[in-house]
Structure 1
Amino acid sequence: MVLMALELRHLRYLLAVAEHGSFTRAAEDLHLSQPTLSQQVKQLERALGVQLLDRSGRTVRLTDAGEVYAGHARRALRDLAAAERAVHDVLDLSRGHLRLGVTPTFTAYLVGPLAAALHTRHPGIGLTVREATQDRIETALLADELDLGIAFAGPHLPGTEATALFTETLSLVTGTPPDATTTAPEPLPVHALEDRQLALLSGDFATRGHIDAYLARHGAAPRIAVEANSVQALTEIVRRTSVATVLPDAITDDHPALTPVPLDPPLPVRTVVLLRREGAYHSAASRAFTRLVRELVRERGYAPAT
């Protein structure tokens, strides 16, 4: 057991140096002294009889042999972490943990109800939620840093499995004026957006790409007055100013201070998907969460996936 622990430590040390490109920065991250870290990596190289790191340049790099070894090391550590979770996975759901990644719009209307349902139904299961762009979610799934992700239909990174959940519709959104009537607003021609100021998510998010593609397709060029990386920031800005935004109808349906305005032609719908890594271990917690997602989609009456 001591030898196994020592070998695992060697793997983590090697990968840390490769990631940081520096013994000094890796040592700081690992809370080790630089000489200790250097000695440990040299022990690994002596045991293997091959040089794993090129120390000749300003940046420490993996040698060709090091690249091959590091690839196997990453997979081994990932599989061991999955094995530990499998050992601690309890089928009666009295304990467990789920790591979930979501793109920003879902934080505004889906994560809260899902977390509440999970806590009510299975209070022993812990939940970690990471809000990130879709490409980062898929990368994290492939690296076994997340168990599940909620995002949009493809294209997806190879090795990512996507299961359709529901169809998301979007509208232009404005603040609700104090004297607003209950009559639904008339559809707004897309070219009328050129006279409006918009607040949108920043360009690295899938929702922004979806909106930009729609505007470009119809030759509309509104003024982008605000960019934000938070849906909550957008809703606060729109609620307090004359600036408009574009949000899923599921958000505005629950927000009396916001008014959805249909566009003509309408914004294209999007298919919401549940993401996981192909071949990944499906814990009891992830299976229970998947069932809860499907139940909540039905209860809320979201449009079926197309």
Structure 2
Amino acid sequence: MKITLRHLTYFDALCQHGHFGLAADAMHVSQPALSVAIKELEDIIGTDLIDRSQRPFLPTSHGREVLLTAKRVLAELDALERATGLQRGIEGPFDLGVIPTVAPYLLPIALELLQERLPKLEIRIREAQTEVLLTELEANQLDACVLATHSPDPNHREHILFRDHFVLALRSEQANALGLVDGKIELTDMAPLKLLLLSEGHCLREQAQDLCRFATQEVLNQIGSSSLQTLAGLATSGYGATLLPEIALDQSLLSGPLAILRLAEPEPDRVISLVSKRHNTAALDLSALSGVLADSGALCISKTRKSLAIRRRRTADLI
């Protein structure tokens, strides 16, 4: 005969109550059934586990060691049962990957909303470039990831969150010298500009290169930065121009010396999506999380557009 969870559960109950009758009541079994189970456990282990010479009944020295093990096993079983009963994506641990050109702008709003709407979800953030996140998603190290490029893997499912338009950022005097007009800038107008891009490996670099197909590779490769903040800082210093996604336009940029100019319609944009593995669809409910992320993106972009509109009105008043 082998030790079963029934043996450990009954033994734990007896040690808690110190009385066979009370322990049996707590386990909703008859006292003889509980007594038989305790005796079976003692026979399997080969020694007395309960000191029956006193009341209430207490575990023997050997019984105390068995009790510690029993409690650990029962606790781990309870944790396993709770984990398997969780609504994945709604509660419990969740590993979310986010690309660097989205994470610092979307997450402050998203995490606050998540605390309100999904308080039982224990979100764990992993910030890395697209290729790294997709590799970790495939290895089941991530539950989902927020990307700005289409995943080529047919086994991936994409939940579109929002569209993020690109704007051109450069010093106002440079924009004036080139005759660049907000909302009327064609891609061909960008050919003379020294465009500052992210370093190799960032999806935004590839997107910018696609947009700037009229510029020469020599101009596009003048510098490779690892962050949008660095690009904005270089543009502010007059070193060149850069393309920024709307979501990255914080108040410091909007109130600074940079000209933030919209491109002509249809404005180029990128699609921000929540990507997960298709075979996890039944076990992973992403509807609530994708809703929070979509709302967070909409709030962030709405705030940016309002600030840009106020900035344009102020500029018009000064002319």
TM-score above 0.5 = yes
> What do the CA deviations read for 1:33-81 (whole angstroms, capped 9, x no partner)?
xxxxxxxxxxxxxxxxxxxxxxxxxxxxxxxxxxxxxxxxxxxxxxxxx
- CA separation of 1:209/1:233 partners in 2, compared to 1, >3 Å: closer, same or farther? same
Q: Distance in 2 between matches of 1:159 and 1:108?
A: 28
Conserved 8 A contact 1:193-1:220: no
Say if 2:249 is the partner of 1:252.
Answer: yes
2:192 to 191, 195, 213: 195
* 1-structure distance, mates of 2:153, 2:226: 23
Unaligned runs of 5+ in 1: 1-82
> Is residue 198–residue 224 contact of structure 2 (8 Å, CA) maintained in 1?
yes
Paired residue secondary structure (1:225) = coil
Of 205, 209, 222, 1:225 maps to 222
Does 2:202 align with 1:205?
yes
Give the equivalent residue in structure 2 for 1:139.
135
Distance 2:87 2:100 in 1: 31
Per the alignment, residue 67 of structure 1 pairs with none
Answering whether residue 261 of structure 2 is matched by residue 261 of structure 1, we say yes
Cα distance in 2 between the residues matched to 1:236 and 1:88: 48
Aligned partners of 1:127, 1:157: CA distance in 2, in Å?
25
Letter in 2 for 1:115: L
Report if the CA contact (8 A) 1:149-1:276 is conserved: yes
**130, 135, 138: which one pairs with 2:126?**
130
Seen in structure 2, the aligned counterparts of structure 1 residues 189 and 283 have a Cα distance that, compared at 3 Å, is closer
TM-score (structure 1 length as normaliser): 0.57
Bigger Rg, which one: 2
Distance 2:267 2:108 in 1: 26
Query: What's 1:112 paired with?
Result: 108
Instruction: Please tell me the residue identity of whatever aligns with 1:111.
Output: L
C-alpha distance in structure 2 between counterparts of 1:229 and 1:163, whole Å? 27
2:133 aligns to what SS in structure 1?
A: helix
The answer for the alignment partner of 1:166 in structure 2 is 162
Give aligned-pair identity as a percent: 21
CA contact (8 A) 2:197 2:221 kept: yes
Ranges in structure 2 where 5+ consecutive residues have no aligned partner: 1-78, 303-319
Given candidates 179, 197, 215, the residue that maps to 2:212 is 215
Please report how far the alpha carbon of residue 143 of structure 1 lies from its aligned counterpart in structure 2 after TM superposition.
Answer: 1.0
Q: Determine whether 1:277 maps to 2:273.
A: no
Q: Residues 150 and 274 of structure 1 are in contact (CA less than 8 Å); yes or no, is this contact kept in structure 2? A: yes
Q: Which residue pairs with 2:290 in the alignment?
A: 290
